[in-house]
Amino acid sequence: MSTPTPSANEALTPVASDQRVFRWHDHASLWFSLGVGLLVMQVGAYLMPALGTQEAVLAIVAGSLLGAGLLGWVAKIGCDSGLASAGLMHAVYGRTFARLPIALNIVQLIGWGTFELVVMRDASVAIGRQAGAMQAGWWPVAATLLWGGVVVLLISGSMVQLVRRIIARVALPLVVLSLLWLYWQFIGLAQAQGLAALWQRQGEGGMGVMPALDLVIAMPISWLPLVADYARHGRSGVGALRGAWAGYAVANIWCYTLGVLVALTLPSQDLVTALLLAQGGLIALSLILIDEVDNAYGDVYSGAVSSHSLWPRWGVRQWGLGVAVACTLGALVLPMHSLEPFLLLLSSVFVPLFGVILGRLAWGANAAALLARARRAHAVPIAIWLAGIACYHLLPRLAPALGSALPTLVLSFALAWATRPSTR
């Protein structure tokens, strides 16, 4: 097996067939694990009380299946081509222009990696208080450094071995047991309060089903710039599609509905506090918190791959250590809750970006061949992407009932498909 030289650009080079080891269950384990998170549960709780229970469940199931399907579709393209996300951007937008969306992706990955560390820090503080320990004012700083150190340790190892040995064999069974236990506890609480009445509960208004669908789809779409970085190590494009789709859809539905269930039964409680109030909640939340590490790892690893594509003199592992340190320092000093709207704004550019990529590369297009003959900039895909960004931000003002993500995605995909060059 050949080892790339330090100056080789691994992100823009297809993974060799003898290095592809992920089967469909490896993809499913990875994306189930990445789909589970406290942040997902919190967003699920945001659907209440604006929506009725049945409306919320409908939006969660439909949005999860659709969003995870898009995730699986990009996974298939990444696996078939062997290219990372940066390589797909080069193939579609041109070798020079692609540096702009890649740079934006690096910024958002550092931001979301930092935000994940903040979520883990706050949950650690809550767990420490619940356990009656670690009350000192230095504990938030120590917790941030602890979780940042864990990410640094993981990024210094092999991503493939992490997925196949730690996530699939250890983390996944533990987090499934934790979710089952929490679901059992809150279903029991719902039965005590009148499960039928809670199921028939009507919403108070302020959010329609389509904007709620937008909110649900936002989670799987936020992973679109990352999925090819992992799927390129798969043996089969169909296996990558099925595994990513099934794994993420199940996790997204599970965590969103758990957030709704918590909001229904304990509406005045903070989600982390509510989870701790459940019998055995301290242990269950601790296991979910440990599983949250792979979300931060996912951001850091993909940030490293994208950074390596711009500056290949540093290897992916070196870039990973740098990105992990940047996220840890950011979690210590940045006011993340005030920066969240900026991160969501930045994420909006990737909905039309990948709508165009799907439109250009779907159904058999050879991404590696397109990359080999890519020019400096491809005007038509660039124009469609910019129009998609404008559409995303105009829709809430012109037609708020439609949402933003789905119409923008459909428009950018349709235009990219209609204008794709001849394959002859």
Residues 6 or more apart whose Cβ sits within 8 Å of residue 393: 348, 404
Q: What is the mean pLDDT of residues 176-197?
A: 88
Cα dihedral 133, 134, 140, 141, rounded to 10, equals: -150
Examine the pLDDT at 336 and tell me if it is beyond 70.
no
Global confidence as pTM = 0.90
pLDDT of residue 322: 95
Bridge partners of 234, per DSSP, are 22
pLDDT in tens, 228-253: 999 999 999 999 999 999 999 999 99
pLDDT of residue 14: 92
State the average pLDDT for the chain: 87
Bridge partners of 22, per DSSP, are 234
Q: Which sequence spans correspond to the domains of the chain?
A: 25-338
C-alpha–C-alpha distance, residues 393 and 382, integer Å: 17
**Which CATH number is associated with domain 25-338?**
1.10.4160.10
Q: What is the mean pLDDT of residues 250-273?
A: 86
| Two tokens, residue 189 | 């609480």
pLDDT in tens, 342-383: 766 777 899 999 999 999 998 878 888 888 888 999 999 999
8 vs 88, higher pLDDT = 88
The terminus-to-terminus CA distance of the chain in angstroms comes to 34
Quick count: other Cβ atoms within 10 Å of Cβ 5? 8
Q: How far is CA 101 from CA 87, 207, 323, in A?
A: 12, 31, 18
